Amino acid sequence: MKNPNPLVLKLITLIFFFSMSIAVAQPSDDCVETLQCESSWVGMSDAERASVFEFAEDYKAFIHRARTELTFVTEAVAFAEANGFTELTGSTVLIPGTRIYEVNRDRAISLLVIGEQSLREGFHIIGAHIDSPHLDLKGRPLYQDSEFALFQTNNHGGIKYHQWTNLPLALLGRIDQKDGTTIAVSIGLDADDPIFMIPELSPHVDRGRGSRSLDDFIGPEDLDPVVGHIPNQESDGDVVDRVLAYLDREYGVTRADLVSAELALVPAGAPRDMGFDRGLIAAYGQDDRLASYTTLRAIAAVPRPQKTTMAYLVDNEEVGNRNNTGARSEHFADLLSRLLYSELGSEYREPLFRRALRHTRFISIDVNPGVNPMNPGAWELGNAPKLGYGVNLKLYGQGNNANSEFIAWTRHLLDSNNIPWQTSTYKVGSAGGGTIGGEFSRQNIEVIDFGVPLLSIHTPFAVSSKVDVYNLYRAARAFYAFDE
């Protein structure tokens, strides 16, 4: 790898420190000490508001393209290379300012900027997940019912089943064949593409169903979208045969090839501004590609940190951090140990790797529900996060918090950089949710959970505040740039 151009690094550094001086709705001293804070929109200048809205446009454009973990990684690689990152290889020389990335099986990605300190002194890492709740196709999905061709599905992550009916859906993913060929599939995002849909009963013919509970109204086995309608005249009107003929013609795949496919049904609608004032974003996949995108932007903005910085963006959080691309994978330890070995060579020892973990700070960022005007009583409002009030520190209790000294360190980081923050604690015993942080705290790393509040999490269109998205980016950037 070529050494970074020093003139380019100098320019990046100047831009970075100039941009760090731009604060958005700086919290007052009274707010910092008493936590009696106003919305981050209050007191914002025209220039600050323009920065927030500009960032939101870039964010919407990115998540429109990055609908799945596979497409997120594709877009992240393009972003990384456009910002001076190169792929980690065995010959990569790790000097301060080196910008590298590594892809794990096309479904997870890590980006790093090498710092001034030795890797033995630990890392500053932000982790987030790039998968979102969606519908997967079963291994043998295609069947016919009532002269329609349908796909059988399985849900990835927690969803309310009724929210996925009567909704335009796109089909995204890949099909892998026995000869090693991989075929990319994307149907439904372009205006000229067909879409798919799970049709619900009309009110004219569903009398008697209205007395059922919501959980019984639509079940998981009811989420089968219509994918074909025209009969095949050469096979006794079989609609499925016509769909198979289409798949063969367009992609060269058979019914058996669908067994080795990863195909997801996701909402086809584009991200949109919400409200007369355009202060909100309604979009699919903000859990947790909001955090992943702001992390990408933040690590690209830091030219030469003190500690080596890392964005660790993983798959499968919505189903328990499983598999070799999830947060439980040994890929994380494998990557860090390889980097340390690259620096130390024959001096590498396991205790030095464990020392690096002990000296690492890790922010786990995942969105969480915010106070919802439809039912504000779902929260104990004194400990509830509100849209527009900044990033929130997740204080779960019951042994799941960061230790108090790391929380205090984080408060200092945020307050020193004029970044508005709040706290989030669920009602005891009535709500909950996890993220990737626990997978790293058990490795003796200091971990704290961040978030920003959303409305309608795990629905086809979650809602964020543009100012929270921007302040999360600022928080991530400040963490990466921290100088002890």
Looking at the structure, tell me whether residues 214 and 358 fall in a common domain.
Answer: no
Tens of pLDDT along 220-251?
A: 999 999 999 998 777 666 899 999 999 999 99
Distances (CA, A) of 341 to 90, 125, 310, 331, 338: 11, 19, 17, 15, 5
CATH of the domain at 248: 2.30.250.10
- Report residue 73 CA to chain centroid gap: 11
Same domain, 144 and 119: no
Same domain, 46 and 124: yes
Reported pTM = 0.91
Verify that 364 and 443 share a domain, yes or no.
Answer: yes
Query: Is 124 in contact with 482 (CB distance < 8 Å)?
Result: yes
Q: Which residues of 256-290 are buried (b: 16+ CB within 10 A; e: fewer)?
A: ebbeebbbbbbbbbebebbeeeebbbbbbbbbbbb
**Residue range 134-188, pLDDT digits in tens:** 999 999 999 999 999 999 999 999 999 999 999 999 999 999 999 999 999 999 9
- The confidence band for 273, taking pLDDT boundaries of 50, 70 and 90, is very high
Domain count within the chain: 2
Whether residues 301 and 331 share a domain: the answer is yes
Question: What mean pLDDT do residues 98-124 have?
Answer: 97
Its domain, for residue 212, covers 134-267
Residue 1 lies in a domain: no
The reply to whether 126 falls in a domain is: yes
Residue 146 within any structural domain of the chain:
yes
Distances (CA, A) of 127 to 19, 107, 165, 187, 447: 23, 14, 32, 30, 10
Could you report the per-residue pLDDT of 188-212, keeping only the tens digit for each?
Answer: 999 999 999 999 888 777 776 666 7
Residue 81 belongs to domain with CATH number: 3.40.630.10
Q: Is the peptide bond before 30 cis (omega within 30 degrees of 0)?
A: no
As a whole number, the mean pLDDT across the chain is: 91
Q: Is residue 348 part of a domain?
A: yes
Instruction: Return the structure tokens found at 13.
Output: 């550094």
Weakest mean pLDDT among 68-82, 309-323, 387-401 = 387-401
For residue 80, the surrounding DSSP H or E stretch is: helix 69-82
Q: Give the pLDDT score at 405.
A: 96
> Are 37 and 254 in contact, with CB atoms under 8 Å apart?
no
Which amino acid type is present at position 54? E
CA distance 448 to 123: 14
**Same domain, yes or no, for 154 and 115?**
no
Average pLDDT, stretch 459-468?
A: 97
- Predicted local distance difference test score (pLDDT) of residue 34: 84
pLDDT at 211: 67
Name the one residue in this structure whose structure tokens are 């849900």.
155
